[in-house]
Amino acid sequence: MRAVRVRVPATSANLGPGFDCAGLALSCWDVLDVAVTDGGLTVEVAGAGDGDLPTDETHLVVQAFRAACAELGWTPAGLHLSARNGIPQGRGLGSSAAAVTAGVLAAWALCPDVPAVDDAAVLRLCSALEGHPDNVAACLLGGATLSWTTPTGARAARLSVAPRIAPVLFVPDATLSTSVARGLLPAVVPHADAAHAAGRAALLVHALTRDPALLFEATEDRLHQTQRAAAMPESAALLGALRAEGHAAVVSGAGPTVLVLSPLEDDEHLGDPASAARVRAVRDRTPPGWRCLPLQVDAVGAMVRPSTDDHDAVSF
């Protein structure tokens, strides 16, 4: 193939106590057409990041593509990238992980010497480029994921999320740098907080997959959200208000977006009046200047298809 279309989902990492481990893929995507050309580089960006993201070799998708090409021992003559971005930038929704995953997957799919995409190798390289595997694992595999690092690189396990869970995002106008947020974390934590996190993280797996009614307790955190509150006071205030009302609210990744995991009443989802009322009650908490995005869990993760010149010819 000389051209592919890649769709990569937004992701929310940590989910409360699962710091640098748990991730969730969400139904908000970047769609990128990547083509091998006879020479040069062209980059087009539409949607989120239009006018702000670079259109040269420093574009993160291009950098990831080049890194994957080096890993594969392949140098294409030229490259054309057309990105239609739906994932908000700099708001704790895995936009950089999506870009890295898209670039690496595109290189793997386009390389003439590779018979198929190696998900394990892609995960290792994406995690090395991103710095940690929580977002890239969810982006690549879909659903909920647990990720960890080993001496040979990152690994991940995928969880099937209970269908009664309805993610709702509160996205502010403000952005927050991940490096700034990480800089606020202490070097050590009390043993009691570590024990609390271990117990809640284990409960989180059960709540996500089997019993969403336990999500409120399962999303309690002592490791990172309070410590980062000074960098995002409005997010911290919204988080506190939502949890005071019994909602399973967490800071999405490094923030400042706030994620609510609403357990619906039954498998009828939003068609059930009680479920719809619960989600409306969450949405009514939207502060001025914020966007509320009711989404679904993306159970598929990143997808790669052959591409053509007709943008409507290939759908997902």
Does the structure show a pLDDT above 50 at 314? Answer: no
On whether both 140 and 212 belong to a single domain, the answer is no
pLDDT score for 285: 75
| pLDDT-based confidence at residue 275 (cuts at 50, 70, 90) | low
On whether both 137 and 266 belong to a single domain, the answer is no
| In a domain? residue 187 | yes
Look up the pTM and report it.
0.91
| In a domain? residue 311 | no
Per-residue model confidence as pLDDT tens digits over 189-205: 999 999 999 999 999 99
| In a domain? residue 312 | no
| In a domain? residue 316 | no
On whether both 196 and 153 belong to a single domain, the answer is no
What domain count does the chain have? 2
On whether both 134 and 45 belong to a single domain, the answer is yes
On whether both 153 and 259 belong to a single domain, the answer is no
> Considering the chain, what is the average pLDDT of its residues?
91
Please compute the mean of the pLDDT values over residues 279-300 and round it to a whole number. 86
On whether both 8 and 133 belong to a single domain, the answer is yes
pLDDT score for 181: 84
pLDDT top residue among 180 and 38: 38
Per-residue model confidence as pLDDT tens digits over 126-141: 999 999 999 999 999 9
| In a domain? residue 313 | no
On whether both 108 and 179 belong to a single domain, the answer is no
On whether both 145 and 228 belong to a single domain, the answer is no
On whether both 131 and 151 belong to a single domain, the answer is yes
| pLDDT-based confidence at residue 286 (cuts at 50, 70, 90) | confident
Does the structure show a pLDDT above 70 at 76? Answer: yes
Enter the tokens of residue 37: 């050309």
pLDDT score for 265: 60
| pLDDT-based confidence at residue 28 (cuts at 50, 70, 90) | very high
Domain of residue 218, CATH code: 3.30.70.890
pLDDT score for 277: 66
pLDDT score for 219: 98
CA-CA distance, 171 to 29, in Å (whole number)? Answer: 15
Q: By C-alpha distance, which of 268, 269, 231 is closest to 251?
A: 231
The rounded percent of the chain whose pLDDT value lies above 70 is 92
**262-276 exposure pattern, b = at least 16 Cβ within 10 A, e = fewer:** bbbeeeebeeeeebb
User: Which range marks the domain in which residue 272 is found?
Assistant: 165-294
Per-residue model confidence as pLDDT tens digits over 183-241: 888 899 999 999 999 999 999 999 999 999 999 999 999 999 999 999 999 999 999 99
Domain of residue 12, CATH code: 3.30.230.10
On whether both 238 and 216 belong to a single domain, the answer is yes
The rounded percent of the chain whose pLDDT value lies above 90 is 81
Does the structure show a pLDDT above 80 at 276? Answer: no
On whether both 288 and 212 belong to a single domain, the answer is yes
Please compute the mean of the pLDDT values over residues 104-129 and round it to a whole number. 94
Per-residue model confidence as pLDDT tens digits over 123-182: 999 999 999 999 999 999 999 999 999 999 999 999 999 998 999 999 999 888 888 888
Please compute the mean of the pLDDT values over residues 287-303 and round it to a whole number. 94
pLDDT score for 283: 74
pLDDT top residue among 22 and 182: 22
| In a domain? residue 139 | yes
Please compute the mean of the pLDDT values over residues 88-99 and round it to a whole number. 96
Does the structure show a pLDDT above 80 at 315? Answer: no
On whether both 177 and 276 belong to a single domain, the answer is yes
